[in-house]
Structures are given as structure tokens and as C-alpha cells.
């Protein structure tokens, strides 16, 4: 079972290499063993497992296989009747007080990947101890399996609409009537994923005009990775500016992350800026309060805002499971990561790209300002912070050597700026005396090395990335 490992958010692998029908059955049996052996004492109303899937190649078939294994083990299954946003699966778990859920998706990974995310009873990413337990069950029991038709006839599998309940909740959370009246012109890129045309459907019938692109199913994702960053959103950024839209929004492959394009600059906002907008909207416009969570590669701008408002700030390793767990335990207003995945108080402890997009529109409508004006206000108040990330193919034989070098001989300076702190919570983050920083870590979902940087200007952030790249290749 060495090929099956749960990373920062579930198990992901290349289709037909490690992500095979047999391995999917093995993982499903491990989930069944976990549910039967470890979830008996959970106080939930609904002992079923909900299963959703994205638009990737064979995702519907993989979801059927998982359903059939779980049901053959005597666990009742609610199977989505169509491709599903990940937050819809999580919402169904929390809303119905279910025992857990499975989402067949590789999220933002390249098209050749697929994956399985296990969602815990609270409607968020499974904790590390849960995924470790799942790994111990791999291959321990013979796979039990029966046909879909057989299990349906026995009442063990039922197909259902699990999206509508989630969208109805979003209608209650965001001020949809206000957005409809706003006369905003919005471009949405669904990136061929499960975001589909949901934002447009939620806003139809008003003065707000929404145009959706790439909302058809295409398992190849049009030749891009369904991650809401550049260069994957070149078309969105260009059309948002050239088409005189008020804002461009993009949801990733399983609709749990959000990208935002500014029509004035024709550029995509960083995930940090997206989280900052959402945080300030909840604080200043919706008058909500609570703690704030970001990962180790979060922005110093969030720290500044927390200091101003007296909010408790939590830092976690990369992986939304860490954020989900804290959101269940503490009074959290917002939790997010640098990739545009954000969760909110009084919602689910899970990233939600659709809700995030509507809250951005709500902010623009409530402030009656252009997005560029809101961004300028933030820069004037808190200063400028430019964040960049580089994903590198890196030789396997050098990875461990690099990590050991960073531990034993960390750089004393980055671009001649003295390093005053080294954070080793996840990888290595070198924080400089001018608040700029460099971070190097191994990806938990792909065989790549990630280099991160933040600085007052884009030019300096890119220079720090180049410094990090040279540092990695010097090993």
C-alpha cells in the first residue's frame, strides 16, 4: 500500500498509474473499516455517508465504486446525482448531521490526477489522526463489493441532489437581493469544474449581469490546470478588463477556491488579497468578530489587520485540515490559505469558492466603490504587500538534502536583508527585518518544490523567488 498516502488534503495520484479501480476499492474499504470501527460513538442523527465527485475523467465511476464498497459493508450511502462542489458535500454532512463524506476530486491538480478527500462529521477536512488511521486500514480487510443496482434495490445507496441545499444556505448567508440590485457586471470562469453556472443562477432575475465562461464539462480542463492562479486565468483577466466588467471571479476544479480579477489593472489578485478583502468585509461591513486563521505562508497584512482590530491570529501548517479543526474548536471569524480557499463563521469549516465569490460582490455592492478603489484604500491604510509563488520540478534525490541544508545552514540574509526569524512549522520560512520573507517547502499534493515570497513590491518579491530558486539548486 506504499503508493497510497494521504497528503495535505486526501489521497491524490495519476489516473491509471496509482489511481486505479483496484486502489480506489482499497481506499474505500479502508474508509468502510474506519467508519465501522471508529465512528460508532459519534453522536450524529444520520449514519449515512455522502459521496460527491468532480468533472474529471471517470470521477463519476470512481464515486460509484466508493459507494458500492461502502454499501456492501452495510453503510448507507447518499450519492450525488451530478458533479458536485466540494463545499456542497461538506454542507450536506453538517446540515444533516451525517457521519462523514467522500469527495472524488483532485481539486486544482493537473488533469492527469484524481483523488479522494475524506470529510469528517463536522463538515470539514479530516484531521491528521483520521487520515493516519485510514492509512492503517489499507489492505487490512478483503474488499467487499456489490453492483450499484443490487445495492440500490436493497436501499443501501440512494442518489440525491446535494447541491440545492448548499445553494439555499448561500442565499441566506449573502445579501443576494442587494447584489441583484447593484447593476454589477460580473464575469465568472468555472474552469470546467463543478462551479458550473451556480453564481449566475443565484443572481438571475435582477439588475446584476453575470456572464459565465468554461462551465461545460471538459476532463482535460481546456489544456490548463483548474487552479485559480496565473497563467490559468489569462482569459478571465483579459476579458474582465476588455469587456468592461466590474469584477472577474473564478472557481477551481471542485469550487472550493476563488480567484478574483481586477478590471482596472487586468491582473489577478493573490489569494492573500482575496482573503484580506473577505476579512475586512466581515469586520467592517457585516460587523462580525472572531479569530483569524492563516497558514504559515500567509501574509503579514493579515497580522496588521488583526492587530488593529484586536483579533486573535492563529497560524497553521499548510493544509486546510488544520484550519477546519481549529474552526470547530475555537470562535473563528475566517480561516484561509494563500491559494484562495476561505471558510467563514456560521458556515461550514470548509473552503467555499461560491460563497467567497458572492461575498466579494456583496462587499462591492455595500461599499458602492469599484474593486480598484477598495484595494487602494487597503494599501493606503496598511501598506503594500506583494506575494508570489514558484512551483519547481525538483529531483527526488535532492529533496531530503535540501531540507537538511536549510535546517543546518539556513541563509543569514535574503537579498542582503538580514533574516531575523526562521519558522519551521511547515518547510522553512525565512523572515527578514523589513518584514519581507522567503519560504521553501515540499508540496503535499504534487511531486514538486514550492518557493514562496512576500515583499513591498512585485519586483522585490520576484527577486526573492529567484534567490530561493538558486538556493534550492545550490544543493
**E strands in 59-184:** 77-80, 98-104, 113-119, 157-160
Instruction: Report in angstroms the alpha-carbon separations of 233 from 220, 270, 359, 459.
Output: 15, 12, 20, 21
CATH of the domain spanning 166-382, picked from 3.30.360.10, 3.40.50.2300, 3.40.120.10, 1.20.210.10: 3.40.120.10
CA-to-CA distance for 277 and 266, rounded, in angstroms? 18
Helices (H), 346-457: 353-367, 371-382, 396-408
Q: From 166, 162, 351, 347, select the one nearest 255 (Cα to Cα).
A: 351
pLDDT value of position 147 = 97
Please state the pTM of the whole predicted model.
0.95
Q: Which residues contact 114 (CB under 8 A, 6 or more apart)?
A: 12, 13, 15, 19, 56, 57, 58, 59, 62, 104, 105, 106
Q: What's the fold here for domain 386-473?
A: TATA-Binding Protein (3.30.310)
- Are 165 and 50 in contact by the 8 Å Cβ rule? The answer is no
Q: Which residues contact 54 (CB under 8 A, 6 or more apart)?
A: 83, 84, 86, 103, 104, 105, 106, 107, 193, 194, 253, 254
- For domain 11-162, give the CATH number: 3.40.120.10
Strand partners, 334: 292, 344
Q: Which residues contact 309 (CB under 8 A, 6 or more apart)?
A: 283, 289
CATH 3.30.310.50 residue ranges in the chain? 386-473
pLDDT value of position 447 = 81
The bridge status of strand 46-53 relative to strand 342-344 is unpaired
Q: How many CB atoms lie within 10 A of CB 308?
A: 11
Cell of 342: 476561505
| Dihedral angle sign, alpha carbons of residues 422, 423, 428, 429 | negative
Instruction: Report in angstroms the alpha-carbon separations of 307 from 304, 313, 365.
Output: 5, 9, 27
Grid look-up 462580525 returns: 288
Q: Which residues contact 419 (CB under 8 A, 6 or more apart)?
A: 410, 411, 412, 413, 430, 431, 432, 433
Helices (H), 119-233: 128-137, 148-153, 164-173, 176-181, 198-203
CA 273 to chain centre: 15
b/e burial code for range 88-112 (CB count within 10 A of at least 16 → b) = bbbbbbbbbebbbbbbbbbbbbebb
Tens place of pLDDT per residue across the chain (475 aa): 568 988 878 899 999 999 999 999 999 999 999 999 999 999 999 999 999 999 999 999 999 999 999 999 999 999 999 999 999 999 999 999 999 999 999 999 999 999 999 999 999 999 999 999 999 999 999 999 999 999 999 999 999 999 999 999 999 999 999 999 999 999 999 999 999 999 999 999 999 999 999 999 999 999 999 999 999 999 999 999 999 999 999 999 999 999 999 999 999 999 999 999 999 999 999 999 999 999 999 999 999 999 999 999 999 999 899 999 999 999 999 999 999 999 999 999 999 999 999 999 999 999 999 999 999 999 999 999 999 999 999 998 999 999 999 999 999 999 999 999 999 999 999 999 999 999 999 987 778 999 999 999 999 999 999 999 999 999 8
Provide φ and ψ at 153, rounded to 5°: -65, -25
Q: From 304, 350, 432, select the one nearest 107 (Cα to Cα).
A: 350
At 186 the three-state DSSP class reads strand
CATH 3.40.120.10 residue ranges in the chain? 11-162, 166-382
Q: From 47, 54, 51, 58, select the one nearest 21 (Cα to Cα).
A: 58
Amino acid at each position: 500500500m506504499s503508493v497510497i498516502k494521504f497528503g495535505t488534503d486526501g489521497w491524490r495520484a495519476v489516473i491509471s498509474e496509482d489511481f486505479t479501480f483496484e486502489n480506489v476499492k482499497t481506499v474505500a474499504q479502508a474508509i468502510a473499516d474506519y467508519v465501522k470501527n471508529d465512528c460508532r460513538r459519534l453522536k450524529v442523527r444520520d449514519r449515512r455517508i455522502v459521496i460527491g465527485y468532480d468533472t474529471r475523467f471517470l470521477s463519476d465511476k470512481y464515486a460509484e465504486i466508493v459507494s458500492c464498497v461502502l454499501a456492501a459493508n452495510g453503510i448507507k450511502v447518499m450519492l450525488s446525482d451530478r458533479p458536485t462542489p466540494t463545499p456542497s458535500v461538506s454542507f450536506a454532512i453538517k446540515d444533516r448531521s451525517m457521519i462523514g463524506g467522500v469527495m472524488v476530486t483532485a481539486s486544482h491538480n493537473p488533469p492527469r490526477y484524481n483523488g479522494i478527500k475524506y470529510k469528517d462529521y463536522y463538515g470539514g477536512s479530516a484531521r491528521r489522526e483520521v487520515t493516519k488511521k485510514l492509512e492503517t486500514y489499507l489492505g487490512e480487510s478483503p474488499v467487499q463489493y456489490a453492483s450499484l443496482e443490487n445495492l440500490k434495490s436493497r436501499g443501501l445507496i440512494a442518489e440525491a441532489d446535494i447541491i440545492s441545499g448548499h445553494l439555499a444556505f448561500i442565499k441566506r448567508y449573502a445579501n443576494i437581493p442587494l447584489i441583484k440590485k447593484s447593476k454589477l457586471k460580473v464575469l465568472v470562469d468555472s474552469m470546467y469544474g463543478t462551479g458550473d453556472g451556480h453564481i449566475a443562477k443565484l443572481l438571475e432575475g435582477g439588475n446584476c449581469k453575470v456572464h459565465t465562461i468554461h462551465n461545460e464539462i471538459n476532463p482535460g480542463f481546456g489544456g490548463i490546470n483548474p487552479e485559480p492562479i496565473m497563467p490559468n486565468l489569462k482569459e478571465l483577466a483579459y476579458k474582465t478588463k476588455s469587456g468592461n466588467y466590474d469584477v472577474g471571479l473564478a472557481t477551481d476544479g471542485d469550487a472550493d477556491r476563488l480567484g478574483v480579477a481586477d478590471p482596472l489593472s487586468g491582473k489577478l489578485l493573490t489569494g492573500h488579497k482575496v482573503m484580506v478583502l473577505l476579512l475586512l468585509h466581515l469586520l467592517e461591513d457585516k460587523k462580525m468578530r472572531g479569530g483569524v486563521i492563516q497558514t504559515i505562508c500567509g501574509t503579514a497584512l493579515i497580522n496588521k489587520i488583526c492587530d488593529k482590530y484586536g483579533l486573535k491570529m492563529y497560524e497553521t501548517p499548510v493544509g486546510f485540515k488544520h484550519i477546519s479543526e481549529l474552526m470547530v474548536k475555537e470562535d473563528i471569524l475566517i480561516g484561509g490559505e494563500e491559494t484562495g480557499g476561505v471558510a467563514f463563521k456560521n458556515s461550514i469549516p470548509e473552503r467555499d469558492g461560491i460563497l467567497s465569490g458572492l461575498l466579494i460582490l456583496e462587499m462591492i455592492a455595500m461599499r458602492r466603490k469599484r474593486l480598484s478603489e477598495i484595494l487602494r484604500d487597503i494599501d493606503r491604510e496598511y501598506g503594500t504587500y506583494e506575494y508570489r509563488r514558484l512551483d519547481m520540478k525538483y529531483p527526488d534525490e535532492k529533496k531530503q538534502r535540501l531540507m537538511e541544508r536549510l535546517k543546518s545552514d539556513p541563509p543569514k540574509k535574503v537579498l542582503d536583508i538580514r533574516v531575523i526569524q526562521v519558522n519551521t512549522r511547515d518547510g522553512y520560512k525565512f523572515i527578514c527585518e523589513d518584514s519581507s520573507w522567503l519560504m521553501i517547502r515540499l508540496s503535499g499534493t504534487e511531486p514538486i518544490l514550492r518557493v514562496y515570497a512576500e515583499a513591498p513590491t512585485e519586483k522585490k518579491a520576484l527577486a526573492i523567488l529567484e534567490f530561493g530558486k538558486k538556493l534550492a539548486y545550490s544543493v
